């Protein structure tokens, strides 16, 4: 297969980009929200990270793509920064490939390519990316978070001299048929009783769970809850920045961004943002009123119990629960997938 590689400043209107797949062979959804052309375009418009898109062509057919951007100490979105993620990097400028957030990052390829073809395409994409990084004075090329099952990508990068270090554990859940009752029934009896106890506690305390469109009004209502969670875990991020990111999600995925909300007497005490894209769901921002909820299992209510009926109604194939709170997510049925971080010093 003869390949031609080009570089573009945007893929917002590029035909074929959204048909490319990530992590072929990883047994996960082939598309990710953070690699959709619409969201990438909006992040480019409102961001500050010098994006360049490396494209691989076989004749006139797009067979691969890599979203790349510069990340350095001047990037204002702290969740994008690489400080402390890679050994020896410090705040050195880097070219990040395949997504700026911890998620399923890596190169995109045409779905019908076999392993050998995918390795060849990925290698060409990263060769061009390394040239971009050298021209821009960037010291590293990195993939933040690659599913360990993405063996073609890992093989291609190891052959190019990339090092691997362990990444965060990634949690996903396949919703059981039958909504909440089906979800409860998927557990052994001991865990079924635990979930039913949680639901009784929430009901007795007057906690109402709902899935609502994520409107500007709801964003304003729940941003303080997200700030509470950030304060608890030492995340430094301005509430206005959180609100702006959720509004970008709403623009990118019109009508498909929801809030799973726990309310007591009409007041929100728990929240999770749920993005629906191509038949799957992604849990993003979350937050809680820790003082109001006390010992109630509101966390499990908004992340799991309040979602399952909606997931069944929408026919969602998989729920992506991102990273962190490992024990809690495993206890409610999530599968843990290992990831790796890949990097090359130039």
Both 199 and 156 in a single domain?
no
Both 263 and 147 in a single domain?
no
In total, how many domains does the chain have?
A: 2
DSSP string for 273-299: EEEEETTEEEEEEEEE-HHHHTTS-HH
Residue 269: give its domain's CATH number.
Answer: 3.40.630.30
How does residue 25 score in pLDDT terms, banded at 50, 70 and 90?
Answer: low
Both 152 and 182 in a single domain?
no
The answer to whether residue 119 scores a pLDDT higher than 80 is yes
Both 180 and 307 in a single domain?
yes
Both 40 and 185 in a single domain?
no
DSSP string for 204-260: HTTEEEEEEE--HHHHHHHHHHHHHHHHHHT----HHHHHHHHHHHHHHTTT-EEEE
Which residue do the tokens 């865990």 mark? 191
Both 296 and 277 in a single domain?
yes
Cβ contact 140:344 at 8 Å: yes
**251 lies in which domain range?**
175-317
The rounded distance, in Å, linking the Cα atoms of 209 and 304 is 10
pLDDT at position 137: 96
Both 163 and 33 in a single domain?
yes
Which has the closest alpha carbon to 126: 163, 86, 157, 82? 157
Both 213 and 93 in a single domain?
no
Report the chain's mean pLDDT, rounded to a whole number: 93
Tokens of 113: 């390519």
Both 116 and 258 in a single domain?
no
Both 114 and 19 in a single domain?
yes
Asked if residue 69 belongs to a domain, the reply is yes
Both 258 and 235 in a single domain?
yes
Q: What percent of the chain has pLDDT over 90?
A: 84
For 168-209, write each residue's pLDDT tens digit: 999 999 999 999 999 999 999 999 999 999 999 999 999 999
Asked if residue 48 belongs to a domain, the reply is yes
Asked if residue 322 belongs to a domain, the reply is no
Asked if residue 325 belongs to a domain, the reply is no
Asked if residue 326 belongs to a domain, the reply is no
Asked if residue 327 belongs to a domain, the reply is no
- Averaged pLDDT for residues 64-80: 88
């Amino acid at each position: 297969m003869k390949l031609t590689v080009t570089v573009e400043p945007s893929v917002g209107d590029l035909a074929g980009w959204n048909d490319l797949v990530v992590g072929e062979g990883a047994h996960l959804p082939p598309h990710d929200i953070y690699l959709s052309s619409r969201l990438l375009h909006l992040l480019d418009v409102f961001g500050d990270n010098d994006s360049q898109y490396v494209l691989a062509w076989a004749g006139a057919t797009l067979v691969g793509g890599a979203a790349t951007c510069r990340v350095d100490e001047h990037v204002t979105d702290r969740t994008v920064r690489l400080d402390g993620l890679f050994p020896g990097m410090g705040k050195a400028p880097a070219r990040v490939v395949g997504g700026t957030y911890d998620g399923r990052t890596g190169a995109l390829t045409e779905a019908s390519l076999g392993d050998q073809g995918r390795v060849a395409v990925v290698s060409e994409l990263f060769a061009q990316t390394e040239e971009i990084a050298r021209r821009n004075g960037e010291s590293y090329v990195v993939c933040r978070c690659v599913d360990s099952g993405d063996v073609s990508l890992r093989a291609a990068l190891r052959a190019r001299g990339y090092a691997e270090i362990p990444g965060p554990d990634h949690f996903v859940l396949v919703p059981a048929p039958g909504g909440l009752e089906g979800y409860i029934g998927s557990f052994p009896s001991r865990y079924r009783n635990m979930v039913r106890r949680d639901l009784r506690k929430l009901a007795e305390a007057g906690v109402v769970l709902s899935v609502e469109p994520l409107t500007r009004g709801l964003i304003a209502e729940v941003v303080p809850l997200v700030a509470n969670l950030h304060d608890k875990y030492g995340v430094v991020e301005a509430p206005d920045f959180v609100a702006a990111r959720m509004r970008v999600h709403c623009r990118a995925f019109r009508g498909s961004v929801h809030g799973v909300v726990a309310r007591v007497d009409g007041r929100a005490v728990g929240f999770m943002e749920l993005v629906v894209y191509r038949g799957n769901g992604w849990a993003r921002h979350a937050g809680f009123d820790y003082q109001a909820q006390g010992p109630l299992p509101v966390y499990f209510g908004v992340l799991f119990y309040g979602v399952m009926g909606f997931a069944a109604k929408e026919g969602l194939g998989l729920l992506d629960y991102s990273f962190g709170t490992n024990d809690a997510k495993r206890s409610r049925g999530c599968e843990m997938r290992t990831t790796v971080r890949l990097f090359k010093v130039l």
